[in-house]
Structure 1
Amino acid sequence: MQLGLSFSDSDVSSFTPLVVLELADDTKAEAITWLLNRIRDKQQNGGAELLVNQLLFPAQDDQKSNPNVFVVGSTLQRLLNGAEDVGLFKEFQDGTMRGFTYANRESFKDFNGDGEGFLSDAECQYIIKHGLDTLRAKNEQHVPGYPKLKLYPGKSVVRRLQSKGVLIQYFPLHNKEDLKRLSFSWYKKFKLSFQPLDDIRHYFGEGLALYFGFLEYFTFALVPMALIGIPYYLFDWEDYDKYVLFAVFNLVWSTVFLEVWKRCSATLAYGWGTLSRKKAFEEPRAGFHGALGFNPVTGREEPVYPSSKRQLRIYLVSVPFVLLCLYLSFYVMMVYFDMEFWAINTYHENPNIATSILLFVPSIIYAVVIEIMNLLYRCAAEFLTDWGEPEILLFNFVNCFASLFYIAFVMQNMVLLRQSLATLLITSQILNQVMEAFLPYWLQRRRNKKVHKRMRRLMGDKELPLLGQVQLETEMNTYLGTFDDYLEQFLLFGYVSLFSCVYPLAAVLVVLNNITEVYSDAFKMCHVFKRPFSEPAANIGVWQLAFETMSIIAVVTNCALIGLSPQVKAYFPESDTQLILIVVAIEHVLLAFKFILAFVIPDVPKHIQVKLAKLDFDSLEALKKRMFITSNTCCSLPKQT
């Protein structure tokens, strides 16, 4: 869909809308004019040099749609220059991945003609987002029309408008044809093959593609655990001594799983051009705000946030809040144990079908309460601070695993541990599917029906597909990023690596969950949420450290469970101290083996290391050549008398 647009300083007459920008319906006219001028202005003047046009709704709109909805696009020249500005890596003619430069555009593999189709939709939208995010105030004292919206040189315009509710939202527009093709190859047909990660990356960007790559890898890696766990559960379960061998296998699996994933992610990231991208010279994020300071690395003025304020915020807000939530978590856990003991006593006093079912009720209620508490804590943490991820991770870990640790090492009741783990896994998976997929889909279908009825009433027989699409997508839910998705996989990994030796079917349940998770997550990304902006990523970030930390905890936990097994205790009938010392020694040996294995297995495959070394060598040779030419030019200049 093309929209007509005229410029006094450009011969561009039309553009393809890529991003939607929505301002509040009561935004002052002078503020709108100022913002649009900044968006259209040349980059050398501090503008974004993008194309923008207002989306006009029919005059007979009885519900008075927001008139301040705009579509943003760009010229191809601006996008190609922007690709260089953001440091995109593309495939060179020799097969290596190199940082794109407009001067050398003809040397890149897929650059044909004027470069049409060289950049994916996700890359184009990311470039536009970068242009909008880096719009910073120049000499304005305040936003025009809003004397109280103060500005200073370097202040993020987008951040300021968003924080005060002037800018409601901005998001990338779906490409219907590309989305239809992706949906068909991704989730519309059941298959046991790999996901189309390259197509996902082209449409949604590297960050989301890496999440689905990890989800797929994690699911396949769990298959050996599941295949071994089924016969263990069927034939050896009643003899609790048998879980020792399964615990040993669990230890090796958790280490190899993470080390091999680092190699897989490096291979994916290199092919996508994100492995070599340097983050040291990126612009500050748009949401970052603070006094203007000097960056000694780039030599530019950038907003900085004082370290003292950050420390005060941590110790006076984050730490007390986390401690309060942990106290509530432990309190709820003790209430759960009281309910559990009551259910057990009731069953022993009157064993029948009803009381046997009652045995599972406390665990189900506790699992539901855990999910509710996790959700409430997430909302509270986001409200109090913009940086709540570490605290959220800590709270979720304690909230989900504290009761299991208590049952295993304080009560030492393996039967209750198995029952609690099974109930927590099954209940949490059902709740996650309902909350993450079915409920948002049902709500979105209701919104879609209302929007379609309204657009048919307004447009009649007229065909205005872009207008209807924008109206529909503005009312979709906003995807908040991969944090919650990784968090769910992190907790599932914890259930498997920590306690699956006493409940071998844990891996089976997680495999079944992840198979449905692939399809539900794919569906919600395509039809429930607004299309998210592409986020370049070379790996899964801090989640790699989180999973590795969990695997270290798993070593300690599984060694302790082995030490508690009757089979092992039988060898030390008179000396618990000797048993503890031997278990601790074995634990240290396994930890040493784990770190040696992590050191021996390279994080980056050899062939990619060679390509990266070749790129560094070529860059060094090019630098030497430029220095040689510059030196000869200076020497050949005539001396002034």
Structure 2
Amino acid sequence: RGGGYLVSSPALSFRNYFGEKVALYFAWLGWYTYILLLAAVPGIFLFLYGIFHFNSSQVSKEICEANTTIMCPLCDQKCPFWQLSDTCTYAKVTHLFDNEGTVFFAVYMALWATVFLELWKRKRAKVVSGWELYRWDDDEVRIIPASDLEELALQLINDPNYKLRKYQHSYAGSTAVLLLVLLMIAVLIGIAHALVIYRVMATVIFTKSDSEFLRERADTLAVVTGAVLHYVTIVIMTKVNRRVALLLCDLEEPRTFCEREKIFTVKFFTFQFFTYFSSLIYVAFFLGRINGRPGNYVRVAGKWRLEECHPSGCITDLFIQMVIIMGLKQTLSNFVEYLSPPYNRTDQGHRLSAGEEEPGQEEWLRNYQLNDVNIFSLFDEFLEMMIQYSFTTIFVAAFPLAPLLAFFNNCIEIPLDNYKMVWLQRRMVPRRANDIGIWLQVLEAIGILAVIGNGLVIAITSDFIPMQVYKYAYSPCVLQNRTDIDCLTGYINNSLSVFHINQWGMGFDGQCTYQDYRNSDDYSYSVQFWHVFAARLAFLILFEHVALCIKLIAAWYVPDISLTVKNKHLEEKY
């Protein structure tokens, strides 16, 4: 824009106009979007596999045919007993993304995250080598980073009397900042607990409603409205988190802007991570596992019972949460982001048009009327992509279509970011850089969390492990040596426990069932419960060790820097 400046390379065009820092953002975003295809295709195949076997799952068949299985009420008052077959559709939907291929997809995504980072390092080395910035900020050969030296030079140019700020460190100050960070994290976790209480209360309200539609879908409606409320808290807490992170940065008194940017990035991303994922962590790993049993339920404030999982697992609840939050984040948030700048620009233009323009200053005035930018404008773009990358990797076992959704979003995000920076905002002050900075460490941390998160989802959230324990230890194929039936035949009845209704003091006898592995006489955990528990733990340890080994092998197998770039710099040194 302006001057008719044309270049053949998009990366070089961004670098010459915006500086290396912005150019590297677009280079990374384009590469990330391209590699997302390698994650989206297996996710599509996994989802299609679930669709093709939508009606053939043995577990779904048993739930749909369980017309005589009476389940215990989901609340204490005015909640009727219900038939397990009422949740037939829910069980079939669960099988779409909780099937035999989920484990392999989770391992694949752990490998994908590693390969993506290694390939980006190669791509980055090639790009910055063309800019002659490959060794510009090499911490291995410099005690003081080149970015700090460049900033010091700018300070001296702007103010010859500038006094040097030396490196300082205070253990007391660091301890205070650490305690404040932990306090903020505790507040964010408390908000997640408030969302849990809301879902508990919403389930009771919907169950007691006069509408049959609301009563039959009380659990699902509570999850959906809870996810929407979670998104609202995200919007509000994002502004709070930013202010708190800036305040904590001021307490640490960073020397330079680069140091301030790193400190702010770590704190703000940490707060945002807990804001986005605290509720998801509860749904994935605690929902239905700490609620107790009939006759001895765990209650909130001694009144409301905690939520329960469906007999086919809690993974659908996690899926619903991710779809709503990720969908709203990538649609509504972007809509607001790109809708507001033109209005701001127009309003500012009306305010300035009243003044007199001197000849030849029209272009300057038009540029001045664009929306202002601040030092963290590029930070916001990176943060948005890091949150998306977290959704795409950490809980991808529960939402295999997340990479596809992220790919479509980025195909729109790239031209919109381009349009926003060129036409709606003033130009950012160009800053030199040869990498994406602290964000690379954030990506590596997310990659490790992805291995842990997906391993926990399969071991705890999914019913994959209980099914395998039943299949190889308690099924008719093992106990009766039968080969003419599906080895999961009888799994649903085996995973349910019996409760004697007369212990409620209602004045009548009978039995109802609930999902758990307990003895029917004293309600203690059965032997099978401990078998399943041991299998979950063993799988978790095995999965994480195998996935981390694969990550290390992939990191070793794919060099960070291509031989072409290495040999080029070797020849230059020679």
Say whether the 8 Å CA contact 2:18–2:428 is kept in structure 1.
yes
Amino acid at match of 2:39: M
- Specify whether residues 571 and 445 from structure 1 end up closer, same or farther in structure 2 by C-alpha distance, changes over 3 A only: same
Amino acid at match of 2:348: R
Q: How many residues align?
A: 414
Which residue pairs with 2:111 in the alignment? 252
- Specify whether residues 215 and 416 from structure 1 end up closer, same or farther in structure 2 by C-alpha distance, changes over 3 A only: same
Say whether the 8 Å CA contact 2:223–2:321 is kept in structure 1.
no
Distance 1:224 1:249 in 2: 10
Q: Does 1:329 align with 2:174?
A: no
Give SS of 2:429's match.
coil
For residue 432 of structure 1, the aligned residue among 311, 314, 333 is 333
Give SS of 2:165's match.
strand
Amino acid at match of 1:225: A
Q: Quote how far apart the aligned CAs of 1:390 are.
A: 1.4
Q: Does 1:238 align with 2:103?
A: no
Amino acid at match of 1:552: I
**Deviations for 1:510-554, whole angstroms, at most 9, x for unmatched residues?**
112212211221122112322112222222122112111111111
State how 1:310-325 maps to structure 2 within 5 Å: 311-316=171-176, 318-325=177-184
Instruction: Name the TM-score, length of structure 1 as normaliser.
Output: 0.59
Q: Quote how far apart the aligned CAs of 1:285 are.
A: 6.3
**Deviations for 1:145-176, whole angstroms, at most 9, x for unmatched residues?**
xxxxxxxxxxxxxxxxxxxxxxxxxxxxxx72
Distance 2:94 2:573 in 1: 59
Which residue pairs with 1:177 in the alignment? 3
Q: Quote how far apart the aligned CAs of 1:470 are.
A: 6.2
Say whether the 8 Å CA contact 1:226–1:507 is kept in structure 2.
yes
Amino acid at match of 1:211: Y
Gaps of 5+ in 2: 51-92, 157-162, 251-259, 289-313, 471-527
Which residue pairs with 1:415 in the alignment? 316
Which residue pairs with 1:567 in the alignment? 464
Distance 1:537 1:578 in 2: 48
For residue 234 of structure 2, the aligned residue among 334, 348, 370 is 370
Distance 1:466 1:266 in 2: 37
- Specify whether residues 345 and 307 from structure 1 end up closer, same or farther in structure 2 by C-alpha distance, changes over 3 A only: same
Say whether the 8 Å CA contact 1:560–1:583 is kept in structure 2.
yes
Say whether the 8 Å CA contact 1:221–1:257 is kept in structure 2.
yes
Say whether the 8 Å CA contact 1:210–1:539 is kept in structure 2.
yes
Which residue pairs with 2:560 in the alignment? 603
Q: Does 1:208 align with 2:104?
A: no
Say whether the 8 Å CA contact 1:247–1:558 is kept in structure 2.
yes
**Deviations for 1:298-336, whole angstroms, at most 9, x for unmatched residues?**
xxx94303223xx443322x2233223212211211111
Q: Quote how far apart the aligned CAs of 1:439 are.
A: 1.5
Q: Does 1:303 align with 2:165?
A: yes
- Specify whether residues 557 and 534 from structure 1 end up closer, same or farther in structure 2 by C-alpha distance, changes over 3 A only: same
- Specify whether residues 459 and 543 from structure 1 end up closer, same or farther in structure 2 by C-alpha distance, changes over 3 A only: closer
State how 1:337-416 maps to structure 2 within 5 Å: 337-349=196-208, 350-352=211-213, 359-384=223-248, 385=250, 386=260, 387-411=263-287, 413-416=314-317
- Specify whether residues 567 and 447 from structure 1 end up closer, same or farther in structure 2 by C-alpha distance, changes over 3 A only: same
Which residue pairs with 1:159 in the alignment? none
Say whether the 8 Å CA contact 1:441–1:528 is kept in structure 2.
yes
Amino acid at match of 2:166: V
Say whether the 8 Å CA contact 1:340–1:362 is kept in structure 2.
yes
Q: Does 1:551 align with 2:412?
A: no
Amino acid at match of 2:553: I
Say whether the 8 Å CA contact 1:241–1:566 is kept in structure 2.
no
Q: Quote how far apart the aligned CAs of 1:614 are.
A: 1.6
Say whether the 8 Å CA contact 1:368–1:428 is kept in structure 2.
no
For residue 542 of structure 1, the aligned residue among 409, 426, 438 is 438
Which residue pairs with 1:189 in the alignment? none
For residue 529 of structure 1, the aligned residue among 425, 434, 452 is 425
**Deviations for 1:75-109, whole angstroms, at most 9, x for unmatched residues?**
xxxxxxxxxxxxxxxxxxxxxxxxxxxxxxxxxxx
Give SS of 2:317's match.
helix
Distance 2:364 2:113 in 1: 50
Q: Quote how far apart the aligned CAs of 1:431 are.
A: 4.0
Which residue pairs with 2:90 in the alignment? none
Amino acid at match of 2:99: D
For residue 465 of structure 1, the aligned residue among 362, 369, 389 is 362
Give SS of 1:176's match.
coil
Give SS of 1:241's match.
coil
State how 1:57-96 maps to structure 2 within 5 Å: none
- Specify whether residues 512 and 449 from structure 1 end up closer, same or farther in structure 2 by C-alpha distance, changes over 3 A only: farther
- Specify whether residues 314 and 432 from structure 1 end up closer, same or farther in structure 2 by C-alpha distance, changes over 3 A only: farther
Q: Does 1:519 align with 2:415?
A: yes
**Deviations for 1:261-307, whole angstroms, at most 9, x for unmatched residues?**
11111111111221121463647468789xx9xxxxxxxx9430322
- Specify whether residues 587 and 485 from structure 1 end up closer, same or farther in structure 2 by C-alpha distance, changes over 3 A only: same
**Deviations for 1:187-221, whole angstroms, at most 9, x for unmatched residues?**
xxxxxxxx922211111111111111111111121
- Specify whether residues 449 and 286 from structure 1 end up closer, same or farther in structure 2 by C-alpha distance, changes over 3 A only: farther
For residue 219 of structure 1, the aligned residue among 33, 36, 41 is 33
Task: Give the CA RMSD over aligned residues.
Answer: 3.0
Q: Which has the higher contact order (CA 8 A, sep 6+)?
A: 2
Say whether the 8 Å CA contact 1:233–1:503 is kept in structure 2.
no
Distance 1:425 1:377 in 2: 19
**Deviations for 1:465-505, whole angstroms, at most 9, x for unmatched residues?**
355246435x6343524222222111111111111221122
Deviating beyond 6 angstroms after TM superposition, the runs of 4 or more aligned structure 1 residues are: 285-289, 353-356
Instruction: Name the TM-score, length of structure 2 as normaliser.
Output: 0.66
Give SS of 1:411's match.
coil
Amino acid at match of 2:28: F
Percent identity reads 24
Give SS of 1:360's match.
helix
Distance 2:327 2:372 in 1: 30
- Specify whether residues 288 and 427 from structure 1 end up closer, same or farther in structure 2 by C-alpha distance, changes over 3 A only: farther
- Specify whether residues 589 and 362 from structure 1 end up closer, same or farther in structure 2 by C-alpha distance, changes over 3 A only: closer
Distance 2:557 2:222 in 1: 51
Give SS of 1:197's match.
helix
Give SS of 2:549's match.
helix
State how 1:46-125 maps to structure 2 within 5 Å: none
Q: Which one is further off, 264-273 or 554-563?
A: 554-563
Say whether the 8 Å CA contact 1:368–1:427 is kept in structure 2.
no
- Specify whether residues 328 and 278 from structure 1 end up closer, same or farther in structure 2 by C-alpha distance, changes over 3 A only: closer
